[in-house]
Amino acid sequence: MSSTEKGLLKDGNIDNNNSALPTESPVTSDDEFAGENKAEKKINNNDIEIYITKDNSAHSDKVDFIGEDDGDDNGREPTEEELFSLRHVSERIPFTCWLIAVVELAERFTYYGLSAPFQNYMQNGPNDTPKGVLQLKSQGATALSYFFQFWCYVTPLLGGYLSDTFWGKYNTICVGCGVYVAGTLILFVTAIPDINDKNSSLGGFITSLILIGIGTGLIKSNLSVLIADQIPKTRPKIKVLKKTGERVIEDPNITMQNVFMFFYLMINVGSLSVMATTHLEAKYGFWAAYLLTFCFFWVGIAVLVFGRNKYVRRPIGDNVIAKCFKICWIGLCNGFNLNRAVPSLNPEKEYPWNDTFIDEIRRAFKACKVFVFYPVYWVVYGQMLNNFVTQAGTMELHGLPNDFLQAINSIALIVLIPLMEHFLYPFIRRFTPLRPVTKIFFGFCFGSSAMVYAAVLQHFIYKAGPCYEFPMACAPEYLNTPNRVHIGWQVPAYVLISVSEIFASITGLEYAYSKAPASMKAFIMSIFLVTNAVGSAIGIALSPTAENPKYVWTFSGLAVACFIAGCLFWICFHRYNRDEESMNALDYKTEEEMLAGVGVTGEGAALYSISSVRSRAQKQNLEQQFPRSDEIR
């Protein structure tokens, strides 16, 4: 075997500098070939039989999977009937997914730990209850809160572009971490009361918001993509369970769903930092809360550096975003007809892309249309970070900080995600597939329910004394006396928001990744995240209504808007559920085209790609057959 061939398998991954086998024969003697066809050499592996052709001009596509218990079923592709009749299960989650999830946990610990005290920090003054710093009042604080959300979710466009065009996902995340650290350090220093006043704190606060937003954008658009990149892009295949003998289908789409559920679970474990930071804010001051988050972020940096040689890193596309915009322009100039950009239909144009890339662009367009209704949902979600906090401040707290109940959202997600992943979703899949569009519709419905509950609760707050529709503002003697409603009544609103996140937010992440072209995952993910920025812009426009006695109408209007948006979403896109399998099949085709150079297609191709990261045993067996060459580095 030549050194070029050996270079194709490097560190268990494809060496993308070599797209095909060399023209010279890698075999020096016909004696190395055996079997019925002397033009092929058979290489045995515990899981597969790979045939490599003697004639390199035509690669072999023969791959036989050897089952451990049932050679007729294990590893083979299911029939169409089996796809609908057999139970679908997840594959094993790669170890690198766990490392990346820890990085996300640390980043979210910092993000939520910082942002939880923001409303009090911005809205109140040192002599108010609860205490604050910037004295921007409710409307100003709510508007600035929405600006921060907007900024954090518009900067992912920059992160996706830099990642897919220049730096790659890992390097972009590293740069984002550096910017993030600088922002949190400035926030901590300017929150120390002994060395700052209101003006310096305001300047430092705005500077830190800008830097943290940039860092969040660079990280957020790439970390969820990087964790999904660790999942092997294999076709669904039959697996016979050893204990029961049951035949099931190992479905990579279920694996991806579970990975994103786990990823979101870690996000919410990290967001429990609000319990610590709100306590530190109340007992010691804002500087203590920001110091904790600054220190904890370094845990994520340490794990990120630790796994630098373990992560699966896909190659950077060749000006792929520029190609995408060129294709869009061609379609726009021809009445939105992308057939004019298909190379096989227009060979005289000599386009620098293939037909599969056009199919991926079509699929990405469908995904982007699905995202159109998301801004309405994000306005509803944003209430948890500002107006819910303000509402709690007018209720009887019983010793709790008014921003403490944000932790209920995280706790509910930590409890509900495993229940849905291991019980509800598998139960539903026994009877019918639970497709993405259906789950997103449910997410809008639960979001609307949360706003209905918040509006009813606000009505009862206004009906309670002593200040009724103007809590803590009806007379000077009631300045620090809330209306007589227990803060515990807010818990159902947070739980309903949590359920809506599982259906809408997690599924949105899955959809953005699975429907994006292979070389544009980060950029399409950033487009999904930008819908949050649009929602924040709408929230800024609605911020004048964030005052008493208008909150009932604010929550009621959002409930109606979210429900109508969900219904329109279902009417427009429910047919996409029927096309789900065919759209996902493009990923298998793309992977096989990329790996065609090693003469293996179908399921076996994945063993030459990122599946070697998942299966150490397969990797070791293949490396025994294909030892690394010292000539290729």
Q: Is the pLDDT of residue 266 over 70?
A: yes
Which amino acid, residue 544? P
Question: What pLDDT score was predicted for residue 17?
Answer: 40
CB count within 10 Å of CB 159 equals 31
pTM (2 d.p.): 0.70
The rounded distance, in Å, linking the Cα atoms of 174 and 559 is 40
Cis peptide bond prior to 466, omega within 30° of 0: yes
Answer for the pair 40, 51: CB distance below 8 angstroms, yes or no: yes
CATH: 3.90.730.10, 3.20.20.105, 3.40.50.300, 1.20.1250.20. Which one for 87-317+366-582?
A: 1.20.1250.20
Q: What does R_g of the chain's alpha carbons equal in angstroms?
A: 27
Residue 604 predicted with pLDDT over 70: no
Pick the more confident residue, 493 or 144. Answer: 493
The reported pLDDT for the residue numbered 165 is 85
**What phi, psi does 515 have (nearest 5°)?**
-100, 0
In this predicted structure, what is the pLDDT of residue 72? Answer: 62
The first and second tokens of residue 546, run together, are: 């964030």
Q: How confident is the model at residue 217 (pLDDT cuts 50, 70, 90)?
A: very high
- Nearest Cα residue to 73 out of 243, 232, 250: 250
How large is the average pLDDT for residues 404-419?
88
Whether residue 599 is predicted with pLDDT greater than 70 in this model: the reply is no
Higher pLDDT, 290 or 317: 290
Whether residue 611 is predicted with pLDDT greater than 70 in this model: the reply is no
C-alpha–C-alpha distance, residues 113 and 130, integer Å: 17
Element (H, E) at 188: helix 169-190
Q: Taking 90 as the threshold, does the pLDDT of residue 568 lie above it?
A: yes
| Separation between Cα atoms, residue 299 and residue 177, nearest integer Å | 11
Per-residue pLDDT, 176: 95
User: Which pLDDT does position 490 carry in this prediction?
Assistant: 94
User: Which pLDDT tens digit goes with each residue over 198-211?
Assistant: 788 888 899 999 99
pLDDT tens per residue across span 272-293 = 898 899 889 888 889 999 999 9
Assign 3-state DSSP to the chain and report helix, strand, coil percentages, each to 5.
Answer: 65, 5, 30
Name the residue ranges covered by the structural domains of the chain.
Answer: 3-65+583-625, 87-317+366-582
CA distances from 118 to 156, 339, 574 (A): 22, 50, 39
- Tell me if 215 sits within 8 A of 176, measured CB to CB: yes
The mean-pLDDT minimum among 50-59, 247-256, 453-462 falls in 50-59
State pLDDT tens for residues 19-45.
333 333 333 334 444 444 444 444 444
Residue-wise pLDDT for 235-265, tens only, equals 888 888 888 888 888 888 888 888 998 899 9
Looking at residue 585, its pLDDT comes to 65
Contacts (Cβ under 8 Å, ≥6 apart) of 351: 341, 343
Give the C-alpha distances (Å, rounded to integers) separating 424 from 117, 419, 474: 35, 7, 48
- When pLDDT is averaged across residues 295-299 and rounded to a whole number, the result is 95
CB contact at 8 A, 626 and 9? yes
Give mean pLDDT, residues 378-384: 90
Determine phi and psi for 206, rounding to 5 degrees. Answer: -65, -40
CA distance 451 to 234: 41
pLDDT at 569: 95
464 neighbors 478 (Cβ within 8 angstroms): no
Q: How far out from the chain centre does Cα 61 lie?
A: 35
Give the chain's end-to-end CA distance (angstroms, integer). 17
What is the average pLDDT value for the chain, to the nearest integer? 79
